[in-house]
Chains A and B, each alone.
Chain A
Amino acid sequence: MSAAQYRPSDEVDFLVIGIGAAGGVMAKELSTAGFRVVALEQGPWLHEKDFRHDEVAISFRAGIINDPKTRPNTFRKTPSETPVHQQAVEYASLVGGGSVHFTANYWRFHPEDFREHSTWGAVPGADLRDWPITYDDLEPYYTKGEWDLGISGLGGSNPFDGPRSKPYPLPPMPVKSSGVLFERGAKKLGLHPFPAPVAVLSKDYHGRAGCVHCGFCEAFGCEVGAKSSTLAAVVPAAVKTGRCEIRPDSYVRKIEVGKNGRVTGAIYFDKNKKEIFQRAKVVVVCANGAETPRLLLMSKSNAFPQGLANSNGNVGKYLMFDNGGIAFGLFEHPLNEYKSIVVTRVLHDFYRSDPKRGYWGGGGLDSRFDYYPIGFALGGLPADGPQWGAEWKKTLAEYYTHIGGTLAHATCLAVEENSISLDDSVKDAWGMPAMRVTFRNHPDDMKNIDFLMARQKEILAAAGAKKIWHDPTTTTETTYSRHLMGSCRMGDDPKLSVVDKWNRAHDVPNLFLVDGSSLVTSGRQQPTATIQALAYRLAEHLEQVAKRGEL
């Protein structure tokens, strides 16, 4: 357990809500800077020894994700539809959050990501906006994160990347057969593949062991701590300061506001569903792009009858999801993709929006065949073939080790109607209103997914695939997402955004939000590096502001 222990009546300096990609960074940076921190996490505090090679538990029993049985959500495509019980958002629910189970792709956004409205103009039916900050504002913090967390990659190998002040701290991971074939196909087509930057240690680093290539990586917790999750990389350092108390199994239901309009702390349910109010001078919410707006909407008060920090009604709006299709290629020789990490090669040739394509959007492609055995047997084989019986079994045995593929990471346009709101007709296991998700892709998202799928198949063909097909469920409208972005967007104009360029709520001087909810645009998915860069930047800012006595 944590060395630091505070009483709820202690007014700590910072209360961090949600210990994920951003919250873990905040906990470490703020406690290292000398502040007293309590960090609350809805899920448990697991460790390397708790993780297993168990696809049944992870993929079919809500192993480390939000469990639909206790945390249901409802879904509708548009506000005029009646919501149905249907899980639409997935996030990891444990200390470390999504950084524990993610694929570990660690892409920086490009300089152009921050000013796409300026370079393109308005997109009808969407709300494309510039960020209030630039790539240059964030670059030092991308670098800080890469070196603090431990990122493997080859700086300068992606010709489309923005400038970087330092190389990656670790060399790229060994290339897999899928990466070799992707690179071969892409180069034949004149494209520019490069070694994937990943949040996995290619060598021992900062007292942590390098990857052992066990293969149970995406969706799983790392059994040796080689994935650079906040759980493995920074939470131990936060604990070590003796100033940060990590409280797992603590589910926040309301942030309280005092008479002066400042937040005073938060009420949470502990493991036994007992309510506790923790006092704090400053609250930093890092609960992810779905739970952060939900918590604000649940935090109604006389001062904020529409929910905390929601005087303009923007909390929860402009939700952006994860788009992109999966293509498979069958090859002559075994690739054995079940070994090691998932992605070893990436290309960004189609990243930028191109007016010639006739729509707004772009994407990155990566090499991957990320199906575990059960998932592949249930849904990975070509849909036009048998799905059970002797012939199916034969195909399964022949294909599993011989498949490579690519996944597209495609833009998602911000649309006002796409949102997180409260569904008062459905309660979670704590009696709180369920999350209601409203989401429908902008038509340009779909055109882009189709465009990228055609490119993916060209690459696989150029790589020599004998048979090429795709997962049709990944090229239809998105109804389920692990990337949760944009629902409390950042901006200079308090009428049009929820937080300012320092992640401070426009409405509340001592409330900060930093996680996927802050993102103004989707990048080409892979938001973790940007979320964490924002967190490192905010932590440094808070330290400076606090020293000036302005908190």
Chain B
Amino acid sequence: MNITRREWALATACWAEILRAQTGGDPKFAWFEPAMASEIEAIVEQIIPDNETPGAKRAGVINFIDRALAGFDQDKQELYKTGLRETQAKRAEMFVGSTSIAGLSGDQQIALLKAIEKTDFFAQVRTHAVLGFLGSPAHGGNRDMVGWKLIGLDHQMSYQPPFGYYDAEAARGGSK
């Protein structure tokens, strides 16, 4: 038991370190060109919009995607390049005279994404957005655990019962 308790303390310490390392956020990208980053960011900000609650922007999803594409998801770089190229073509066709996705209005961006939502590219960006929003902060997203807070996950390394409303109610001996 001594060993596991010690290791547990270590794991908790690691977690604190992750959170410290994460605050601030690095504006430089490991893989993205800035122009591409702002276009992808415009897409993820419609997938998980920042409104009355934090979304992709506040969570630093673009940093997660950048790290993923530079690291464990290098094999998805090509999909991003070709997917974005095709999306730009679709944008130019739908909104004549526009020059970028980021430059479209919110409604136009949503219309564009609806037009491409069945593509592999969109599916991949959506997956990455969710990973960056709700994954461990250790990967560069979910900054300050805003994703977890949004869904009501109060992150701690251990909990004690009662865990929720109904088991608390049962422990009190009551149920409807």
Contact = CB atoms under 8 A, between A and B. Distances in A.
A331 B169 CA distance: 14
6 contacts: A176-B164, A333-B164, A335-B165, A336-B163, A377-B133, A393-B55
B4 A177 contact: no
A209 B1 contact: yes
Interface string B94-127: 0000000000000000100100010000000011
Nearest to B153: A338
Given A47-B7, A213-B158, 18 more contacts: A48-B8, A53-B157, A54-B139, A57-B136, A61-B72, A207-B1, A213-B160, A213-B161, A223-B11, A333-B164, A339-B163, A340-B161, A373-B135, A374-B135, A388-B129, A389-B110, A393-B51, A401-B151
B130 A374 contact: yes
Interface in A401-427: 401
A79 interface: no
B46 A340 contact: no
Interface stretch (A8-16, A179-187, A312-320): A179-187
A400 B131 contact: no
A373 B133 CA distance: 9
A152 to B, nearest CB: 14
A181 B55 CA distance: 32
A34 interface: no
Interface in B28-87: 46-49, 51, 53, 55, 72
Nearest to B55: A393
B76 to A, nearest CB: 12
B164 A177 contact: yes
B163 A177 contact: yes
A217 B105 CA distance: 43
Interface of B: 1, 4-5, 7-8, 10-11, 14-15, 46-49, 51, 53, 55, 72, 110, 113, 117, 126-127, 129-131, 133-136, 138-139, 147-148, 150-153, 155-161, 163-167, 169-170, 175-176
**Which secondary structure dominates chain B's binding surface?**
helix
Contact of B152 (A61, A331, A336): A336
B69 to A, nearest CB: 14
A146 B81 CA distance: 54
Contacts of A56: 131, 135-136, 139
Contacts of A212: 8, 157-159
Given A223-B11, A393-B48, A214 B152 contact: no
Contacts of B151: 373, 377, 396-397, 400-401
Interface residues on A, range: 35 or more
B91 to A, nearest CB: 18
A389 B165 contact: no
Interface of A: 47-49, 52-57, 60-61, 174-177, 179-181, 184, 204, 207-209, 212-215, 223-225, 331, 333-340, 373-374, 377-378, 387-390, 393, 396-397, 400-401, 464
Of B48, B167, B170, chain A has the most CB atoms within 10 Å of the CB of B167
B163 A373 contact: no
A401 B176 CA distance: 20
Nearest to B106: A390
A335 B164 CA distance: 4
B167 A52 contact: no
Given A53-B136, A175-B170, A60 B131 contact: yes
A337 B10 CA distance: 26
A177 B48 contact: no
Contacts of A393: 48-49, 51, 53, 55, 150
A333 B167 CA distance: 11
B136 A55 contact: yes
B158 A334 contact: no
Q: Which of B5, B48, B49, B165 has the most CB of A within 10 A?
A: B165
Given A334-B152, A390-B49, A181 B10 contact: no
A176 B126 CA distance: 32
A241 B133 CA distance: 47
B38 to A, nearest CB: 19
A215 B135 contact: no
Closest 4 A/B residue pairs (Cβ): A333-B165, A177-B164, A212-B158, A177-B166
Nearest to B168: A177
Nearest to A54: B136
Contacts of A49: 7, 10-11
Contacts of A60: 131
Contacts of A333: 164-166
Given A209-B4, A373-B153, A54 B135 contact: yes
Nearest to B2: A207
Contacts of A335: 163-166
Given A54-B138, A175-B170, A397-B152, A214 B163 contact: no
Given A48-B4, A225-B4, A339 B136 contact: no
Contacts of B72: 61
Nearest to A55: B135
A362 to B, nearest CB: 28
Contacts of B157: 53, 212, 214
A212 B133 CA distance: 26
A179 B167 contact: yes
A522 B113 CA distance: 45
Given A184-B175, A214-B159, A208 B1 contact: yes
Nearest to A332: B165
A389 B49 contact: yes
A395 B131 CA distance: 18
Contacts of A339: 159, 163-164
Nearest to B138: A54
Contact of A400 (B14, B153, B155, B156): B153
A338 B153 CA distance: 7
Nearest to B56: A393
A224 B48 CA distance: 34
